[in-house]
Structure 1
Amino acid sequence: MAVWQTKWRWATGYSADSVEWCPVEPYRDVLVCGTYQLEKNTEQDNSSAKQTRLGRIYLFVINKNTTELIPVHSIDTSGILDQKWSYHSIMDYPILAVVTSIGTLQFYRLTNENGALKLKLWLEHVIGEDVLALSVDWSTNRSSSEEPRLVVSDSAGCVHVLKIVGDRLEMMGRWESHGFEAWIAAFNYWNTDVFYSGGDDCIFKSYDIRVPDVHTTVNKRHEAGVTSIRSHVDVEHQLLTGSYDEKIRIWDTRSLKSSIGEIDVGGGVWRLKWHPHKRDTVLAACMYGGFRVLRISDETEILSEYLEHESIAYGADWQFDSDLVATCSFYDCKMHISEVAV
């Protein structure tokens, strides 16, 4: 069994939905927490009026010298829906990709000026007007590239693929993929021409950018919206999906007609993160079911659960060089740092 021990709790102010540890050396003690909140406006009686979504990114350094959680930097922005660090530096900087409630994709450089760490906006791209950009993934989690790609999904059901070329972004393609929100999009890290999306229409799709007008696979086996997709960095052909139907499904990417296994985790699955060093271990944020650590093997099993948050479990991530796990929850506006012995 995996044993959780809560080390710190911190109030995030706005509702918290994303926590991501930096994977780039020597900054693996760096953590970002992303938040999202509807601005309260009592004069907004017209239900069709646009709602303003506020957001804030908090930057932390958490290591053996930490005694309490204090952000070293914060940035006010639009509502944050997802964040992902590049696994490799770009132009000598660790880079954080962020998608927002006003349909933008932003890139922040982690800078170190005289020992003071800060996030500085580097690039920004508008995905679409009047849409929320819902998820983002890098193509380079397994190997670096001179022109790293990103895939972004949005609330209009579209999926966008872009690449970084020098100091600018180039669009590679846009797909009208789902009838409702495209909650998630992710790359196959072993073949970055291939990517996936999942939508509120319960459909899981696979694409190949070399044949942009063709959906390689359309799978309708999920019983509710598809909310999470994660390729394995260390095990070729292994892929996980999570859904509002409270199941995690295991797939072999060579045949996506049906999953090769599934497990009920007792809550809608919003985030899935493979352990950075234990290739059969997964961290899951299960919305109303709290957080889970699972073993994905011939007999998939839940190793432990973490129920100390009091609201929707949205964000979760492993630190790369320790047993620390960051988790965050929405309406109670909390981030926890725990030690998890697996």
Structure 2
Amino acid sequence: MASIQNPQSATTVYLDQPPSCLEFCPEAPDYFIVGTYLLSEIKAEDGEIQQRKTGSLQLWKLDPVSKALSQIQKIAVPYAVFDLHFHPTQKNIFAIASSVGSVALFQLSIDSTGDASTTDPNMTELWTKQVHEDSSIPALFLAWAPQNWFPRSPADGFAVTFSDSRTAVFGTQGDLRKEESVVEWGTYEAKQMIEVWFVALASMAGSSPAAGQKPIESPFMFTGNDFGSLHTRRFDNTAELDDPDESISPMLLEHDDRARHHTAGVTAILPLPVPLVDDAPILLTGSYDEGLRVYHASRRGEVLAEESLEGGVWRLQLLDTTKITDSEDCFLVLASCMHAGTRVVRVKCKQQDGSSEWEIEVLAKFTEHESMNYASGVWNGAKASEKADQSSELLVVSSSFYDRRLCVWIATV
């Protein structure tokens, strides 16, 4: 096992507001969006101190050669930005979740060739929708539905979680860019009032029904809450929908692990692209308790491997999947670890004698951040031919909240 890298920053800049989320644009890989969250205190006429949350969306450009960062555009918004994700197929569209229970959709203008090298992109708001009736309840996380997650094509949509324990699914059969076509299709309430920090939607393959046939994929929804519980819902896309207005398949199963395996809030869930094991998915989970876990999401749950990342594991991003042999798979993951900085992690699975052995290895630690690392991203502009060798470099942008810092650094994998 190689020694753990401790990279140093090539570039550091300081923002005007604390960064809460960050994501690179798939269509223009030199550009990324940062969402911010500024908490201000205002003294009212009666002398009481009132808190106000505002934020911004900031478009930044990374020069992959010089490692320089430059701000291209900033849009101030009257709320804090809690989460931000680009659409999986309409890759110049992104949505944000806000502190006032709303979701906003934005478009990044890119020229017809998809090349932003001559003209910088520009962010434009398409719509803002109140997705919770109470604007004092923040929307904490947003997840786009993968293709074929909904039973009726060409449905599109997202799930969003809230601080009052609710998870809601919104979708459309029409044009996502038109706010009026996006409606609530399903609401899932928890039994206790608690923050639902994370939701993941996935279509996961089971065993083939017969030799030579394509595996049947089932839609799943995974949520993690502040109690440390991981909740699994599986839907049946093979079922007939009796109601023409019904847009989500009936639930096949639902279970909660009752915080048996996480000793603090579940803050990140990454479904791994492997077949179901004993008809249950394999996930990577992150928690406030600083653990990264390979987790078998069966009814009672089972931890297959575990590693402390030395800080609360707030976000996980799958960077690469490699099949080393017919019996061995490798997953490269970027982890944002709150007070501990950023980690690059390799997760391996080896099939042997009908069972699986999982291993977690930390490849790199970036520890220059002096406060909470809530968001990180990897530049993905290199062509496949440039990544063909066994050893390659990751160009990473990571952030920290209270010191308002963006850092650029390199790890070898």
What TM-score do you get using the length of structure 2 for normalisation? 0.74
**Structure 1 contact 312–329 (Cα < 8 Å) conserved:** yes
Runs of 4+ in 1 over 6 A off after TM superposition: 141-145
Residue number in structure 2 paired with 1:327? 398
Q: Is the 8 A contact 2:321 2:331 kept in 1?
A: no
1:137 to 140, 143, 153: 143
> Residue 269 of structure 2 is aligned with which of 226, 229, 234?
229
User: Cα distance, 1:74 vs. partner?
Assistant: 1.1
Cα-to-partner distance string for 1:160-203 (whole Å, 9 max, x where unaligned): 11124313212111111253111111112435731111111221
Q: Within 1, Cα distance between the matches of 2:148 and 2:34?
A: 23
Distance 1:39 1:299 in 2: 44
1:195 aligned to which of 197, 204, 221: 221
**Counterpart Cα distance in 2 of 1:198 and 1:102:** 21
> How far, CA to CA, are the matches of 2:15 and 2:148 in structure 1?
31
Deviations 1:287-321 (A, max 9, x none): 11221111112321212211101101111122223
Pair 1:33–1:301, CA change in 2 (3 A): same
Aligned partners of 1:3 and 1:269: how far apart in 2? 18
Give 1:107's match in structure 2, choosing from 105, 108, 115: 105
Question: 2:169 corresponds to which letter in structure 1?
Answer: V
* Correspondence for 1:124: 128
Letter in 1 for 2:80: G
Question: Could you tell which deviates more after superposition, 178-187 or 209-218?
Answer: 209-218
Pick aligned residue for 1:153 from 141, 150, 161 = 161
When residues 85 and 192 of structure 1 are mapped into structure 2, their CA distance, relative to the original with a 3 A threshold, is farther
Task: Quote the Cα distance in structure 2 between the aligned partners of 1:276 and 1:199.
Answer: 27
Code of the residue aligned with 2:346 in structure 1: it is: R
Report how far residue 142 of structure 1 moved.
9.8
Contact 2:268 2:315 in 1 (8 A): yes
Pairing 1:1-150 to 2, within 5 Å after superposition: 1-2=4-5, 4-24=7-27, 27-43=28-44, 45-46=47-48, 51-64=51-64, 68-77=68-77, 78-89=79-90, 94-112=92-110, 115-128=119-132, 129=134, 130-140=136-146, 146-150=154-158
Q: Deviations over 1:50-103 (max 9, x none)?
A: x321111111222346563221111111211110111211xxx61111001111
Select 2:317's aligned residue among 266, 273, 297.
Answer: 273
Deviation at 1:277, TM superposition (A): 5.4
From 260, 269, 284, the counterpart of 1:240: 284
1:131 is aligned with what amino acid? I
Aligned pair partner of 1:211 in 234, 245, 250: 250
SS at match of 2:95: strand
Match of 2:388 in 1: none
Q: Which residue of 2 aligns with 1:286?
A: 337
3-state DSSP of counterpart to 2:187: strand
Q: Structure 1 residues 123, 201: CA separation in 2 closer, same or farther (over 3 Å shift)?
A: same
- The verdict on how the C-alpha distance between 1:150 and 1:35 changes in structure 2, with shifts beyond 3 A counting, is same
* Residue-by-residue CA offset, 1:266-300 (whole Å, 9 max, x unaligned): 11111111114555211111111221111112321
Q: Which residue of 2 aligns with 1:181?
A: 195
SS in 1 for 2:29: coil
Figure out how many residues of one structure are paired with residues of the other and give that number. Answer: 334
Consecutive unaligned residues of structure 1, counting only runs of 5 or more, are none
Secondary structure at the counterpart of residue 39 of structure 1: strand
Q: What is the TM-score when the length of structure 1 is the normalising length?
A: 0.88
Structure 2 residue identity aligned to 1:249:
R
Residues in 2 aligned to 1:11 and 1:119: alpha-carbon distance in whole angstroms: 21
Shift of 1:220: 1.8
Aligned partner of 2:409 in structure 1 is 338
SS of structure 2 residue aligned to 1:299: strand
Q: Output the CA distance in 1 between the equivalents of 2:188 and 2:148.
A: 25
Higher relative contact order (CA 8 A, sep 6+): 1
Rounded to whole Å, the distance in 2 between the matches of 1:307 and 1:65 is 23
Aligned mates of 1:147, 1:34 — CA distance in 2? 27
Q: In the TM superposition, what is the alpha-carbon distance from 1:235 to its structure 2 partner?
A: 3.5
What residue identity is the alignment partner of 2:36?
A: T
Residues 189 and 310 of structure 1: is their aligned pair in 2 closer, same or farther, counting only changes over 3 Å?
Answer: farther
Deviates more, 1:154-163 or 1:63-72: 63-72
Counterpart Cα distance in 1 of 2:119 and 2:410 = 27
Question: After the TM superposition, which of the residue ranges 269-278 and 311-320 deviates more from structure 2?
Answer: 269-278
User: How far has the Cα of 1:14 moved from its partner?
Assistant: 1.1
- Equivalents in 2 of 1:254, 1:205: separation in Å? 10
Segments of 5+ residues of structure 2 without an aligned counterpart are: 112-117, 205-216, 236-248, 276-280, 323-329, 349-357, 383-393
